[in-house]
Amino acid sequence: MYTQIYILRFPKDTSDQPFVYKLVKEYDLEFNILKADILLQREGVMILELTGGSKSSVKAGLDFLRGLGVKIERLAARIRRDDEQCYQCGACTGVCPVGALFIKRPEMRVEFDAEKCTGCSLCVPICPVRAMEVSLDRDSVLPEETEV
């Protein structure tokens, strides 16, 4: 699964399009609207959490939105580990794409390197005790050209 949070800015002539329906039906994405300010025939802004089976499926949905003229920014997520909850099972190390969660040898301890973490959130659902916590970093908006 791949989840990211986006800020979508709609031009006024797209505000009446059934884009959420299409994201679900045609791109097989799940969504969670965190905030929306959209009125007919006015520019609108929506903060949307999008989840797809893979990064490429989310990218396809975003490309569809861009085709409608929607401006897209990614809202960075801040990840922290609750060390009290973590029981060192190692499950998260297999999904982290950048090696921010790794097994330190010879101690065989699961370490979290917050500096390497990109905020992709892949480790959040896989942790059996929800030790990886995600919060929105509202001061950190990544521009449209940033990789999804």
d(CA 28, CA 16): 21
With CA atoms as reference, report the closest residue to 77 among 127, 20, 142: 142
Indicate the helix (H) or strand (E) that contains 25.
Answer: helix 19-25
| Closer of 45 and 98 to ligand SF4 (Cβ) | 98
Q: How far is the CB of 139 from ligand SF4 (least distance, A)?
A: 18
Residue 81 binds ligand SF4 (CB under 6 A): yes
Taking CB under 6 A as the criterion, the residue among 32, 63, 87, 135 binding ligand SF4 is 87
Residue 100 binds ligand SF4 (CB under 6 A): yes
With CA atoms as reference, report the closest residue to 148 among 75, 83, 94, 92: 75
Interface with ligand SF4 in residues 14-43 (CB under 6 A): none
Chain CA centroid to CA 47, Å: 11
For 29, residues 6+ apart whose C-beta sits below 8 A from its C-beta are 23, 50, 51, 52, 57, 58, 61
| Closer of 51 and 118 to ligand SF4 (Cβ) | 118
Q: How far is the CB of 82 from ligand SF4 (least distance, A)?
A: 8
Interface with ligand SF4 in residues 105-124 (CB under 6 A): 110, 117-123
Residue 79 binds ligand SF4 (CB under 6 A): yes
| Closer of 47 and 100 to ligand SF4 (Cβ) | 100
Residue 43 near residue 16 (C-beta atoms within 8 A)? no
Q: Which residues bind ligand SF4 (CB under 6 A)?
A: 79, 81, 86-92, 95-96, 98, 100-101, 110, 117-123, 127, 129, 131-132
